[in-house]
Structure 1
């Protein structure tokens, strides 16, 4: 069998892999200037005077002065909407040929995120960088990297728009545009990858699993775990290594892995290497570059200009809506341990765009971050400031304490007896005392979050918890039309989705 080490990487990618000197500010200024030069003759570039910004002694400061911040609704209504009609040169040169349909955990209908050929090229470069980094892992099974790559992603059978563009899951677009040299290793192959029905796709993968020699799996933890469970059940084996003896690397992203670790490792015959990456529809943001790193290293030199907005009451309201003129810092101005919302400007025509994630730097020198949550997915009814990071930590510790797998959970906040309360819905198919679990989660949150501890003795009067089978969570996502690799269960339920969740629990349907 051919080995991946023998691959000749195209010259353009090989050049990009030579990382410039590690001066973060200089790298980012170089990226900003490159983006501005490329887009200066677009409608957006003309309106916001990109030429003037480029001539300024401090282009980053001038960029922040002249260009407003955008969330999806603003940039879509004012700019991206035109591109769906085939209008070229709106926020990026040329016509947009692909759109990633992104709904994430929001209540809104699908978002159309532009995907340009330049962005796809940048993503390819970063995939190769990530792959190369694995060879430096002492515990990595090198043989795994020469075997098949199973990518559990969205359908590559994309929908076509009237103006000639294609839209679908980002993972489906990436799989469809995968480089020719990757074909030898790619599973499940073009026919299965094109399937839109997620259950049918999983069934096909299970049927062919024994024919493949898989060493490397990429996907969202919940769906990869489900796939492995189905394979183990189908072939009546003890663990996945009896089917795929060379499986040694799991690349995951999109959600925190720790809540899944307990259940995931029950499916293995021996330890594997876990690599977290940070890939959003808007760009490849970072990945875990070192074996025992606490966080993922931001990619500062490949066509994403980052700004960091302190996630505090000055810049965001109680609903997570950003101020019109927030404080925005560059990479050299951030502090370790503080929480920031990410703004990105990219080679897909996003400009000072709020992607909705919040991050925290855990290593300033290496520019490594952990994802702490979403700007609109946190609970702070009375000042408890409960982040998704806090929730994940509580679930992780509970899984260890009770030796159970908790693949999904969600939390609701509501008025209660003149004060307020939280209710946790926890998915597990293992036996557990719900009251003991509730107390453990509550106490863990008191220990790790001082604001939560203070409010639990005052306005946050009660915490409730209900244990549900995992199938309940999957069924709800199926009814929402969000069953598949690109969709994550919301960690905080609010608004319309909460109403649907309550109806589902009561009646088994959304209406």
Structure 2
């Protein structure tokens, strides 16, 4: 199918893509909100919140103001306990027209029990459409045509979904991969049979044994698991780099966590540089993707079934545990400030309404609606006002790893009591030799440079920083122990509440 590569290199684009480029972010989002309200006006949720009257009474300039007066913000528990549980019982027209046939199981990295996120037909169409837009945006990158004629390896959850007689449930990656269009199946690896395997270890073994048969040009998946797979393949075939097996490998599409802490170890497995492309595909929808080379930011998808609100991530709107207040200040895309941190609320064509997705972002280009992910609302440390974000942690690890010439594949941090005050305890996963005291000191100093609040509190209430170095394998063994191996599962960057005792008990049992 050489024609695919030719089309991409010529930069052919969909009309929907051009629509987003022609209109302002505000106009696109106003239209999206209106369409979502119109579509859902006869659902139980729409009737309960007066969508018909809202649409009649409010003009386009006032629609959002009336919308947020009539519709409350929702956490997952609030959305599920009042509305989504009915979808699981087989009821229809609850928060979106029709029945929900699929649920994505998502525990994220902050909750112990699985969340059931509805995936409607409209949402699957939305994800497919945005995926095609992202593929077409690759025409802007310096990529040879033959890359797009090679295979695309997508390492995700099992496509074998559980069915209870009413709906299917599984990883979003498993749901969407099972719905790939026929024309894409020629390129897709590892293929339906291997992808349906529920055993993560067996799946990696099967991919490894078949790797040499495939010509892979693009790989997609969570950094930790892609790196583990590449290491496994390199060892199995006794070669030096993954390019000895896949010489045409050129693109890595990643998301879910910051790639920077993995970069050094990742690139040791390559013979030539890759084009790295970040995506923001959550269980609740395909939110953003990188559409320009040499930039860290991603382009928000503004006209494909998603409406966004932005909540300033501060003490006024969130408590010390990252819980949002009942009536936070919210803004549309035209009202945000660049380089300020916000939590995202989304309203979607899967029946999520003013739903706190749990991620924090910064808008780095308001006119182009470009964002970077900075962390999670519950993955930050502020025991005494240090306001340490995951973004700060990732950057410190990246800088220190480069300075000490080590590869840090995983890390996590806990805030703990220390005497009458507080301390941070770091657990750093690296298989390189490094002095723990030196590593602790370097990370501490970098954080002082990156975060003024942290610097102040290190001379006040944040009295100590502790650090343990662990083999990388320990982090993945813990995920396996928690039943979260592979697919979209990531290790939490901050350990709070029930997560910390579980982690400490695991380490003790492992003799660590």
**Alignment partners' CA distance in 2, 1:509 and 1:157:** 36
Aligned to 1:86: 90
Aligned-partner SS, 1:309: strand
**Alignment partners' CA distance in 2, 1:78 and 1:509:** 44
The partner residue of 1:154 within 153, 157, 164 is: 157
Aligned to 2:136: 132
Could you tell me whether the CA contact under 8 Å between 2:333 and 2:366 is conserved in 1? no
Aligned to 1:446: 448
Aligned to 2:36: 35
Could you tell me whether the CA contact under 8 Å between 2:208 and 2:232 is conserved in 1? yes
1:271 equivalent in alignment to 2:273:
yes
**Alignment partners' CA distance in 1, 2:401 and 2:385:** 27
Q: With the length of structure 2 as denominator, give the TM-score of the two structures.
A: 0.96
**Alignment partners' CA distance in 1, 2:168 and 2:112:** 20
1:71 equivalent in alignment to 2:75:
yes
Q: CA deviation at 1:2?
A: 4.4
Q: CA deviation at 1:258?
A: 0.2
Could you tell me whether the CA contact under 8 Å between 2:251 and 2:277 is conserved in 1? yes
Aligned to 2:372: 370
Aligned to 2:192: 190
For 1:37-436, list aligned pairs within 5 A.
37-55=38-56, 56-57=58-59, 58-138=62-142, 140-163=143-166, 165-436=167-438
**Alignment partners' CA distance in 2, 1:430 and 1:174:** 38
Q: CA deviation at 1:54?
A: 1.2
Aligned-partner SS, 2:431: coil
Could you tell me whether the CA contact under 8 Å between 1:229 and 1:267 is conserved in 2? yes
Could you tell me whether the CA contact under 8 Å between 1:239 and 1:268 is conserved in 2? yes
**Alignment partners' CA distance in 2, 1:6 and 1:456:** 56
**Alignment partners' CA distance in 2, 1:250 and 1:464:** 35
Rate the CA distance shift 1:509–1:90 in 2: closer, same or farther, 3 A: farther
Rate the CA distance shift 1:187–1:509 in 2: closer, same or farther, 3 A: farther
1:119-144 CA-to-partner distances (Å, cap 9, x unmatched) read: 11111111111111112113x24321
Q: CA deviation at 1:22?
A: 3.0
Q: CA deviation at 1:294?
A: 2.8
1:440-461 CA-to-partner distances (Å, cap 9, x unmatched) read: 1000000010000000001000
Gaps (5+ residues) in structure 2?
none
1:166-216 CA-to-partner distances (Å, cap 9, x unmatched) read: 000000001001111110000000110001111110010000000000000
**Alignment partners' CA distance in 1, 2:379 and 2:409:** 18
Q: With the length of structure 1 as denominator, give the TM-score of the two structures.
A: 0.97
Rate the CA distance shift 1:3–1:235 in 2: closer, same or farther, 3 A: farther
Which shows bigger deviation, 322-331 or 291-300?
A: 291-300
**Alignment partners' CA distance in 2, 1:36 and 1:5:** 39
Could you tell me whether the CA contact under 8 Å between 1:150 and 1:217 is conserved in 2? yes
Count of residues paired in the alignment: 504
Could you tell me whether the CA contact under 8 Å between 2:2 and 2:146 is conserved in 1? no
Q: CA deviation at 1:509?
A: 9.7
Could you tell me whether the CA contact under 8 Å between 2:421 and 2:461 is conserved in 1? yes
Could you tell me whether the CA contact under 8 Å between 1:479 and 1:509 is conserved in 2? no
Could you tell me whether the CA contact under 8 Å between 2:107 and 2:113 is conserved in 1? yes
Rate the CA distance shift 1:509–1:34 in 2: closer, same or farther, 3 A: farther
Which shows bigger deviation, 129-138 or 305-314?
A: 129-138
Instruction: Give the 4+ runs in structure 1 shifted more than 6 A.
Output: none
1:471-500 CA-to-partner distances (Å, cap 9, x unmatched) read: 111110000000012110000001111111
